[in-house]
Amino acid sequence: MSLTNALPADVAKAAKLASHTLATLPTSARNDALTAIHSALSQSKDEILAANARDLELAKKAAENGELSLSIVSRLDLGKKRKWEDMLKGILDVRDLEDPVGKVTLRTKLDDGLNLEMVSCPIGVLLIIFEARPEVIANIASLAVKSGNAAILKGGKESTESFVAISKVISAALESTAVPNTAIQLVTTRDVIPQLLDLDQYVDLVIPRGSNELVRYIKSSTKIPVLGHADGLCSIYLEHTADPDMAVRVIVDSKTSYPAACNSVETLLVEEAALETLLPPVADALLAKGVSLRCDASSKSSLTAKLSAHSSAILQDAEDSDFDTEHLSLVLAIKTVSSNTEAISHINTHGSHHTDAILTSSAPLAEQFMSSIDSAGVFWNTSTRMADGMRFGFGTEVGISTNKIHARGPVGLEGLMIYKYKIRGQGHITVEYGEGEGQKSFKHEKLEL
């Protein structure tokens, strides 16, 4: 890894060149580099934590002046709890994942002696822009090396000292490996981002990791494909045949287990027929957890009749905008719908195509919901918060994508891969194939992988 003040075009060009070397390295060379990074960081704990302490001190001052939130200060602290250990363990976890490079996913005998293979390979150059948490840099560098992609990294300015310290250690560690130093480059000034976002001849994919605002800014500022999601407006449709206890459990988990997460539920659609039976206990449980309920007229009048005076007094009226808002806090918008069809139409129109769930005892309704909802995750009788690469068993998570091409939903290492077609022939030429007299036909036999 190199820490660079070079011109953005030179950074990107160097990354592209490094990507060509990286793409040809065997599994062992990439894994060895990860081992080297891991031990170098282990040995440099003191100097990195000292750099981190300098970041923390500046951040605390900024917080005292009201320029930075305390939650950001807290996320900066690399010495906190098991953060340092988790960061180091994460490098080895990524190293030990299955190699995504060089997988043959199609093998066809086009003709005798003429074989086609579709082989996975790295995308090339990733531009990864992330916010405060300093441990992210080690995770991202690991994912890039493991997947054979070169990466240009830009972290949040609050962690600059930590990033620079980590970057120097990683850079020195790579010197002794087959991975080129320019495979991972750290840029430290924000003003280079617009220029990097313009370099689509060198940069193949942008991955923003941070706030909705960051992702929205990136998506609107580049022609390079962006992997990620700006919004996570997830909905749950509560159908009247759902098991009542299950409904309470799943909705409470979806709303309250981590309200700031993108996979938390923001809108509850209640079937009219469930207003008086299923909704009241759900509402009671949510209110007990401190959730503000913003209800449409039908759900409010139904709840007002069923809940205690105290509970019904704190119900709020939903405005139209509540059904288009990702609150990211203990707020839930509740809307009454007449049917599965209306629920589907509402979600496809107002949702963010991230993750949506149906709670029902009816398999046909659930299947209809799952095939009709145009979202990355469509769940039946489980929490929207299940949408997560680790929970899916991917071993890591590059991000959650709401894109309609390439990678959708929680993205593992496969999201950093593309493929190429190799043909091995023996002088075969195209003019010999065709429907004319004496011409050959392709055999197109599927071969075993």
Contacts (CB under 8 A) with a second copy, residues 20-49: 20, 23-24
Sheet architecture: strand order including 114-122? 114-122, 104-111, 445-446
Which 295-334 positions form the footprint of a second copy (CB under 8 A)? none
Nearer to a second copy, 76 or 328 (CB): 328
Nearer to a second copy, 148 or 156 (CB): 148
Vertex 347: Cα angle to 343 and 352 (nearest 5) = 165
Nearer to a second copy, 41 or 400 (CB): 400
CA gap 430, 425 in Å, rounded: 12
Distance in Å, CB of 86 to a second copy, minimum: 11
Distance in Å, CB of 395 to a second copy, minimum: 9
Nearer to a second copy, 167 or 340 (CB): 340
Of 18, 378, 411, 413, the one binding a second copy by CB under 8 A: 378
195 lies in the site for a second copy, by CB under 8 A? no
Which 380-439 positions form the footprint of a second copy (CB under 8 A)? 380-383, 385-388, 391-393, 404-410, 418-431, 433
Nearer to a second copy, 81 or 404 (CB): 404
Of 174, 350, 379, 411, the one binding a second copy by CB under 8 A: 379
Of 27, 35, 108, 212, the one binding a second copy by CB under 8 A: 108
Q: Are 410 and 400 in contact (CB under 8 A)?
A: yes
CA gap 143, 135 in Å, rounded: 13
Which 120-179 positions form the footprint of a second copy (CB under 8 A)? 121, 123-124
Of 126, 121, 70, 80, the closest CA to residue 99 belongs to 121
Q: Which residue reads 């930590």 in tokens? A: 162
Of 114, 164, 172, 330, the one binding a second copy by CB under 8 A: 114
CA gap 441, 334 in Å, rounded: 62
Q: Are 117 and 107 in contact (CB under 8 A)?
A: yes
Which 212-251 positions form the footprint of a second copy (CB under 8 A)? 219-220, 223, 225, 243, 245-246, 249-250
User: How many residues in the shown chain lie near a second copy by CB under 8 A?
Assistant: 74
- Cα-based distances in Å from 240 to 237, 272, 274: 10, 8, 4
Nearer to a second copy, 242 or 333 (CB): 242
Of 288, 444, 447, 449, the one binding a second copy by CB under 8 A: 444
CA gap 299, 281 in Å, rounded: 13
DSSP state of 226: B
Q: Are 34 and 145 in contact (CB under 8 A)?
A: yes
Of 375, 397, 399, 413, the one binding a second copy by CB under 8 A: 375
**Beta-bridge mates of residue 356:** 235, 378
Helix axis angle, 244-256 to 279-288, nearest 10°: 40
Of 301, 325, 362, 372, the one binding a second copy by CB under 8 A: 372
CA gap 198, 432 in Å, rounded: 45
